[in-house]
Amino acid sequence: MGSFHAFAATSASVIPLLQQIQDKYGYLSETNLRNVSEYTHTPLSAIYGVATFYSQFRLTHPGKHLVRVCQGTACHVLGAVEIMDHFKEQLGIDEDGTTADGLFTLESVRCLGCCSLAPAVMIDNETYGRLTRDKVDDILASYRREEAK
């Protein structure tokens, strides 16, 4: 709990504390949630309520690469549903799932803000646009090749 000292020990600090923890670890472990509960004197059930209400928080460890498929209007109109389905098929996971090898986590996002590239996906901090099934295959293959090195 050492890094909590910058925050007031009240329930008003719950969200900023959870954000800090997620930024550091990539997700919120049960231990992290308990620590926030103890520090802020907030019931653990309320901490879980916050962590599960906001989509920015994850309760499971994400894969090495975070795949975010845009579902904004332009992307939706230009095939985002099919692109998401193809990622699911190729990765063997559902939305919000992580591959068994821990390499990829697949998420749907409201908008990536790159409508001119629709349909688009962001993997980690790299944006890919004008996606097709073949491009998805090529992108995933390149990440897998890089991982095999």
Global pTM? 0.77
Statement: residue 111 has pLDDT above 60: yes
- The pLDDT value given to residue 36: 97
Cα pseudo-dihedral 124, 128, 131, 136, rounded to 10: -50
The string of pLDDT tens digits covering residues 60-91 is: 889 999 999 999 999 999 999 999 999 999 99
DSSP class of 108: E
CATH class of 65-148: alpha beta
Query: Two tokens at 47?
Result: 């901490």
For 85-94, the CB contacts below 8 A with 24+ separation are 86/133, 86/136, 87/121, 87/136, 87/140, 90/136, 90/137, 90/140, 91/67, 91/140
Tell whether the model's pLDDT for residue 115 goes beyond 90: yes
Q: What is the pLDDT of residue 4?
A: 84
Task: Select the more confidently predicted residue: 1 or 95.
Answer: 95
Q: What integer pLDDT is reported at residue 6 of this predicted model?
A: 84
pLDDT at position 30: 96
Contact in structure between 63 and 103 (CB atoms under 8 Å): yes
The owner of tokens 């907030």 is 42
- Euclidean distance between CA atoms 11 and 9, whole angstroms: 7
pLDDT averaged over the chain? 94
pLDDT in the model for residue 3: 76
User: Is the distance from CB of 128 to CB of 86 less than 8 angstroms?
Assistant: no
CA gap 135, 132 in Å, rounded: 5
pLDDT score of 2: 52
Torsion on CA atoms 67, 131, 111, 64, rounded to nearest 10? 10
Contact call for residues 28 and 59 (beta carbons, < 8 A): yes
What percentage of the chain has pLDDT greater than the value 90?
A: 86
Per-residue pLDDT of 7-47, as tens digits, reads 888 899 999 999 999 999 989 999 999 999 999 999 999 99
